[in-house]
Amino acid sequence: MNAISAASSFVRMEVIFLLIGFSLFVALIFLVIFIWNVRSGQYEDTETPAIRMLFDNEPVNPNPHKDE
Q: Tens digit of pLDDT for each residue in 17-64?
A: 999 999 999 999 999 999 999 999 888 887 777 777 777 666 666 676
What pLDDT is attached to residue 58? 67
Separation CA 42–CA 61 (nearest Å) = 36
CA distances from 38 to 6, 22, 25, 41, 46 (A): 48, 25, 20, 5, 13
Residue 61 located in a structural domain: no
- Comparison of pLDDT for 7 and 65, the residue scoring more: 65
Domain that holds residue 26: 3-54
Q: Report the predicted TM-score, pTM, of the whole model to 2 decimal places.
A: 0.55
pLDDT band at 65 (very low <50, low <70, confident <90, very high): confident
Q: Considering the domain boundaries, does residue 36 fall inside one?
A: yes
> In what helix (H) or strand (E) does residue 32 lie, and over which residues does it extend?
helix 3-39
Q: Report d(CA 30, CA 32) in Å as an integer.
A: 5
Tally the domains of the chain: 1
